[in-house]
Amino acid sequence: MSLTCPKCHGEMRQYERSGVVIDQCGECRGIFLDRGELEKLFEAEANWSRQQTGGAPGQPAQQPAGYPPPPPPAHQPGYGAV
């Protein structure tokens, strides 16, 4: 059974990426996800990023060796501060 795009009424095609079925319109190229699928894609991306950087879950990426640490954020007074 073929789905119809709710925007342009074009024919929808299905693709599987990272265990998630993505519906995409062949006309307007709109992407439609079922409930919970966007979160699954976010998790798959986070897992891929961790594998690329060698980091553990929840840990920020490490500064490469030989580089100075980043400067602290500059203090910017709020609106109306004197």
| Confidence (pLDDT) at 23 | 93
Please say whether the beta carbons of 26 and 11 come within 8 A: yes
DSSP secondary structure of 3-63: -B-TTT-PBEEEEEETTEEEEEETTT--EE--TTHHHHHHHHHHHHHHHHHTPPTT-PPPP
Please give the C-alpha separations between residue 26 and each of 8, 18, 21, 49, in angstroms, as whole numbers: 10, 21, 15, 30
- 22-73 pLDDT, tens digit each: 999 999 999 998 899 999 988 988 888 888 876 555 555 565 667 777 777 7
Q: Domain boundaries in the chain?
A: 12-52
Triad 9, 14, 20: Cα angle to 5°: 130
Residue in this structure with the two tokens 């798959």, named with its chain if needed: 44
pTM above 0.85? no
